[in-house]
């Protein structure tokens, strides 16, 4: 694989950019792999990369029914933060956030990580108390995050309306090194490096069945034929329940549509990410100048990848209360993804009832930020057969044992 560099750019400029290689190989499936990963989203690709990099395991296939990064990884609003309440969550999200800091250098691919700061508004007394508690918990966990008052908020976001008609802004939780990254680039960067290390990424290859014998998994059936494997990992977000059903077990996951929208591009008006959880809407500005706006999930399970209209209307209404300055802005595009939600709003990384089958899912509305940490932890589990320190609390058993990692009470929304 040729390195991307200023020198390579200059060299290609002199020969009409004819020397660039394909970013990743178009692999043809082999008969057998040590590990098969289903789903070429950020989590699946990061897992494959860290399997090769950290554990020297590259006889790995990543099978993708559509195109690489075409699931939620290419549909999210790219918010990155790690100021979660529970210790287990803070650990894995902070591992991810810290890996994001140097991911462009590690992958030799510009993922456009922008630590512009994330502000989560408190618009009720309850929310203010919750953020106070989170700020204390974060300090104990060594995570940089602080409570800010309305005057500090006005300085950070001059366009904000502190005295909204329904809920005034009472304070906020501010993580200065939170921010955004280019979502496609995260998938493309991991794919390029994993492919160069020998991982086969096979697109247009839908898994349609799971083969098993009395000892556990033996392989998968796909739209490109049967593939044998020693270990199998489902990393398919909103399709997790469907894959589990193929393997003969059930997951405590609900699949719901979550949507986002972007406005026409305008000059810079906001240089951080703001989340207004009570009125429910969040906002940042892309490098192109578009306002990137996200809302809540549909109130019913579905696989539509679109989302219902009233939700987007509610989100825009909420944001106009918080930022009246955007009231006449036109929206350019709207889209949706299918998110995989657990009862405690925390992910599942662990073994399943079928020996040899592992799962990584349940990231719900907030898994983009976790991609590097999740890939790191899942690769460790696949390499050793057991979850390591980062993953062990997120096992499937916790639902049977009542060991919840409850982020729903803590945050109500988890983007
Ligand atoms: C609108 C929206 C906004 C969001 N905003 C944020 C945010 O701001 N910050 C944040 O941290 N998170 C956010 N998220 C959540 C985040 O996008 C997801 O948690 C994360 O991208 C999940 O990544 P993944 O790799 O697990 O899944 P995906 O990227 O969905 O990848 C799974 C892949 O599996 C493939 N697949 C499914 N079934 C099969 C099969 N049978 N065979 C082969 N392949 C299969 C799919 O085609 C897909 O490509 C948002 C999500 C949405 C939808």
Each residue's pLDDT tens digit, 303-347: 988 888 888 899 999 999 999 999 999 999 999 999 999 999 999
Average confidence (pLDDT) over 90-113: 98
What tens digit of pLDDT does each residue of 70-94 get? 999 999 999 999 999 999 999 999 9
> Which tokens is 2 given?
């040729």
Query: Ligand 1, from 36, 37, 38, 39: best to mutate by most atoms within 8 Å of Cβ?
Result: 39
Dihedral, CA of residue 54, residue 56, residue 60 and residue 64, to nearest 10: 20
Which ligand 1 atom minimizes the distance to the CA of 206?
A: 42
Report the interhelical angle of 371-384 vs 42-55 (nearest 10°).
50
Bridging pattern class, strands 60-63 and 32-38: parallel
For the Cβ of 235 lying below 6 angstroms from any atom of ligand 1, the answer is: yes
Q: What are the counts of helices (DSSP H) followed by strands (DSSP E) for the chain?
A: 12, 18
**0.85 surpassed by pTM:** yes
Tokens of 221: 């059936």
Distance from Cα 373 to the centre of ligand 1, integer Å = 15
3-state class of 218 per DSSP?
strand
Residue 76 Cβ < 6 Å to ligand 1: yes
Q: How far apart are CA 271 and CA 160, in angstroms?
A: 12
The radius of gyration of the chain's CA atoms, rounded to the nearest angstrom, is 21
β-strands 281-285, 273-276: how paired? antiparallel
Percent of the chain with pLDDT over 90: 91
Distances (CA, A) of 187 to 22, 236, 265, 326, 402: 15, 14, 25, 31, 34
Task: Dig out the tokens for 65 from the structure.
Answer: 């029914």
260 lines ligand 1 (CB under 6 A): yes
Nearest in space to 409 (alpha carbons), one of 354, 344, 355 = 344
**98 half-sphere exposure, CB direction, 13 A CA radius:** 9
Q: Using a 6 Å cutoff on CB, does residue 179 contact ligand 1?
A: no
Residue 322 CB contacts under 8 Å (≥ 6 apart), including other chains: 121, 160, 161, 164, 169, 274, 276, 279, 281, 283
Residue nearest to atom 32 of ligand 1 (CA): 236
Q: Which of 141-155, 289-303, 365-379 has the lowest mean pLDDT?
A: 289-303
Q: How confident is the model at residue 410 (pLDDT cuts 50, 70, 90)?
A: low
pLDDT at 409: 62
- Please report how many Cα atoms fall inside a 13 Å half-sphere around the Cα of residue 415, on the Cβ side: 29
């Amino acid at each position: 694989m040729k390195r991307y560099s200023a020198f390579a750019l200059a060299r290609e400029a002199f020969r009409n950019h004819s020397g660039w290689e394909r970013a990743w190989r178009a692999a043809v499936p082999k008969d057998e792999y040590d590990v098969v990963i289903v789903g070429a989203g950020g989590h699946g690709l990061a897992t494959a990369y860290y399997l090769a990099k950290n554990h020297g395991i590259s006889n790995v296939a990543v099978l993708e029914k559509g195109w690489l990064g075409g699931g939620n990884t290419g549909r999210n609003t790219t918010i990155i933060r790690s100021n979660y309440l529970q210790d287990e969550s803070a650990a894995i999200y902070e591992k991810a956030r810290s890996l994001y800091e140097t991911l462009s250098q590690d992958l030799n691919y510009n993922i456009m990580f922008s630590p512009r700061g994330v502000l989560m508004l408190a618009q009720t007394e309850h929310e203010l108390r919750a953020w106070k508690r989170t700020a204390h918990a974060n300090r104990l966990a060594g995570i940089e995050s602080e409570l800010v008052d309305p005057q500090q908020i006005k300085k950070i976001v001059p366009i904000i309306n502190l005295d909204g008609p329904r809920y005034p802004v009472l304070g906020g939780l501010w993580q200065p090194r939170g921010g955004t990254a280019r979502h496609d680039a995260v998938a493309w960067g991991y794919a390029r490096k994993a492919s160069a290390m020998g991982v086969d990424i096979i697109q247009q290859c839908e898994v349609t069945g799971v083969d098993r014998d009395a000892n556990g998994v033996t392989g998968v059936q796909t739209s490109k034929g049967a593939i044998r494997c020693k270990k199998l990992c489902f990393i398919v977000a909103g399709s997790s329940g469907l894959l589990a059903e193929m393997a003969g077990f059930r997951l405590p996951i609900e699949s719901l549509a979550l949507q986002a929208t972007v406005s026409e591009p305008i000059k810079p008006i906001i240089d951080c990410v703001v989340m207004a959880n009570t009125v429910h809407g969040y906002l940042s500005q892309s490098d192109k100048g578009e306002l990137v706006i996200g809302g809540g999930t549909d109130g019913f399970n579905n696989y539509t990848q679109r989302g219902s209209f009233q939700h987007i209307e509610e989100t825009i209404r909420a944001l106009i209360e918080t930022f009246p300055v955007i009231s006449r802005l036109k929206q350019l595009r709207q889209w949706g993804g299918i998110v995989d939600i657990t009862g405690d709003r925390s992910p599942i990384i662990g073994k399943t009832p079928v020996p040899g089958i592992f799962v990584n899912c349940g990231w719900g509305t907030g898994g983009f930020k976790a991609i590097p940490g999740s890939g790191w932890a899942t690769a460790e589990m696949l390499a050793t057969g057991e979850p390591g320190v980062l993953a062990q609390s997120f096992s499937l058993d916790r639902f049977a044992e009542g060991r919840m990692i409850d982020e729903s009470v803590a945050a109500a929304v988890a983007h």
